[in-house]
């Protein structure tokens, strides 16, 4: 019985430690920031990013709908800054099951010049998150993330209150 409890506890701790995922942010001027994110409850999550001056920015992301996400993203970063392809949610009206089983794709700008790729791509059934990050030294950022439900990986973009843009990979 003690072995079963020990194994269960060990597996639980292992699973909890695997729930924190890395993310990286790049600006046009070559600045690179590192961070972490994890899921929380009720379809939300938490994000921590360390700024180049050591400032820690933190916030909570929430899931939003595709249309409102795309509209807000383009309003923040400009028309054509993201392309989201896939069937509209109401296109099949439940005839073929959930719309999320159909493959979606999204493309966005990559500000990491060192990568040699100016575009980021994610596909699968997609999820859309928005977040507001606040720093311990007063910096704030508005962030948008889009990811694949298949892989959990994706991309995003953040804009600081000072107007600096960052592309995000997670």
Q: Do 29 and 40 touch, CB atoms closer than 8 A?
A: no
**% of the chain residues with pLDDT over 90:** 52
Give the confidence band of 96 by pLDDT, cuts at 50, 70, 90.
very low
Give the confidence band of 81 by pLDDT, cuts at 50, 70, 90.
confident
pTM of the model: 0.76
Within 8 A by CB and 6+ apart from 15, the residues are none
pLDDT greater than 90 at residue 136: yes
pLDDT greater than 90 at residue 56: yes
């Amino acid at each position: 019985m003690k072995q079963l409890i020990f194994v269960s506890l060990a597996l639980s701790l292992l699973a909890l430690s695997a729930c924190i995922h890395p993310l990286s942010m790049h600006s046009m001027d070559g600045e690179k920031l590192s961070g972490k994110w994890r899921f929380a409850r009720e379809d939300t999550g938490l994000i921590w990013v360390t700024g180049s001056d050591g400032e820690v920015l933190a916030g909570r992301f929430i899931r939003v709908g595709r249309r409102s996400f795309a509209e807000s993203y383009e309003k923040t970063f400009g028309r054509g800054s993201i392309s989201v392809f896939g069937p509209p949610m109401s296109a099949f009206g439940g005839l073929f099951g959930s719309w999320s089983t159909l493959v979606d794709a999204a493309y966005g700008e990559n500000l990491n010049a060192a990568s040699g790729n100016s575009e980021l791509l994610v596909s699968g059934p997609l999820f859309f998150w928005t977040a507001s990050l606040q720093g311990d030294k007063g910096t704030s950022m508005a962030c948008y993330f889009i990811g694949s439900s298949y892989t959990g990986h994706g991309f995003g973009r953040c804009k600081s209150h000072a107007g600096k843009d960052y592309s995000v990979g997670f």
